[in-house]
Amino acid sequence: MTVRVAASGRRFHYAWVMVAVTFAVLLVGAGIRAAPGALVLPFEQEFGWDRGSISLAAAVSLVTFGLGAPIGGSLIGRFGVRRVMLIGLGLVVLGVAPMFFMRELWHLHVLWGVVAGIGTGAVAQVLGAAIATVWFRRSRGIVLGLFGAATSAGQLLFVPAIVGLTLAVGWRAAILLMAAAAMILIVPVFLFIRDRPEQVGQRAYGDDALDDGADAAAAAAESARGTPLRVAIRSRDYQLLAASFFVCGYTSTGLIGVHFIPHAVEHGFGEVTAAGALGLIGMMNIVGTVASGWLTDRYDNRLLLAAYYGFRALSLLVLPWIADVPFLLVFAVVFGLDYIAKVPPTANLTARIFGRASVGVLFGWVFFSHMVGAALAAWLGGVARDALGDYTLAFLSAGALGLVAVGFSLGIGRRSSLPGAPEPTAA
């Protein structure tokens, strides 16, 4: 089915329809992705599984989630974003719905760890980066910020709902909520998502204002510029981007996403209070990520990343000693402002240094690095808690890694690592 929309720059641009549907997909995918942090304690109580075993299942899911990103990025180039979205949502349903009947630990590893992990990875930030790159020449940072905010909003909406349903009805009700949300989204994706602006008779947002001459030709050349993975992976800039995003995953999704609620409960906070603080992290990250997108279009992305990692490191270093609700909420505000704020500058640097045409694959593998870090933190966090009785060492190690990532960010672009690549400045 082909949709035709007038190409005039004064008319509504279909790119914003893409943003709306993609926002909803990322929101639901992120909400489902954040579920383990709310389900660790219920699984312990019903099945008697230890924290390390549940954390290992979460770690498997994070690795497959990360692997789903480059796989999805590669498939986007071959089959388009519409098919990848539909496949990803289908896998989420197939992975989550059967958990209603789960009885054994290996069920959790296979259904949540593998099937749902790959599905949520296929409909994660790499998909958003590919859509922002293809559909937007102007305001790309803002769009990336909105997509990051969708991830925060998913956490904000789903985690308290999952905790509330679990306490009131049981964790199986939460499973049904997640499966239903993914299934419903298949309809708007099928009806409205398109692979390229040309399919609706338009050019990328911002290209419509270009002349038909040299500007348009330059825009087309920039859209076509790309770097093979085998070339990019040998460059210093790509290695620094991947290493810093590894730290991002270790210090956010893996540690806070999985272990924050159990840590807070063991420190004397109620489950609802802990879930509310995690929701506040999501709420503040909506503000922080949208602001990060705006800043990404205007300022040096490397300095932004260094500032984000620095603030995160400091907040994690004090978390083990927070014992009062007001200070817990202060932590949630500070940490939340940069929880996913690193996505817009990281994706934008990948596009600027290595070319828009290769963002799906290259940012996909950078994102995989992020999820490897997250998986390591999810597993080691559980192991450390079982061995030492608390999460103090886990949070301190994360804070130290955050300071290391400051150096990684400042090192990007210090010397040319890819011939012909432009300077990795902001917009």
**pTM attached to this predicted model:** 0.70
pLDDT at 186 over 90: yes
Band of pLDDT at residue 160, cut at 50, 70 and 90: confident
Cα Rg of the chain (Å, integer): 21
Single-letter amino acid, residue 19:
V
Question: 399 near 276, Cβ under 8 Å?
Answer: no
Percentage of the chain exceeding pLDDT 70: 89
Band of pLDDT at residue 215, cut at 50, 70 and 90: low
The residue assigned the tokens 């922080």 is: 288
- The secondary structure of 368-380 as a DSSP string is HHHHHHHHHHHHH
Give the CB-side neighbour count of residue 411, counting CA atoms within 13 A. Answer: 16
Pick the more confident residue, 340 or 342: 342
Percentage of the chain exceeding pLDDT 90: 27
CA-closest candidate to residue 27, choices 110, 131, 118, 150: 150
Residue 93: the pLDDT is: 94
Q: At what angle do helices 359-388 and 392-411 cross, to 10 degrees?
A: 150
- The secondary structure of 199-232 as a DSSP string is GGT---BTTTTS-TTHHHHHHHHHHH----HHHH
CA-closest candidate to residue 302, choices 229, 218, 382, 409: 409
Query: What is the mean pLDDT of the segment spanning 296-312?
Result: 91
Alpha-carbon torsion angle 250, 251, 252, 254, nearest 10: 40
pLDDT tens-place string over residues 369-413: 988 898 889 888 888 888 888 899 999 999 999 999 999 999 998
d(CA 394, CA 245): 18
- The secondary structure of 57-91 as a DSSP string is HHHHHHHHHHHHHHHHHHHHHHH-HHHHHHHHHHH
Question: Which domains does the chain carry?
Answer: 15-205+223-411 (1.20.1250.20)
Helix (H, G, I), strand (E, B) or coil at 305: helix
Residue 330: the pLDDT is: 93
The CA-atom distances, in angstroms, between 243 and each of 116, 203, 367 are 26, 35, 10
The CA-atom distances, in angstroms, between 77 and each of 80, 141, 195, 288, 358 are 6, 21, 10, 30, 9
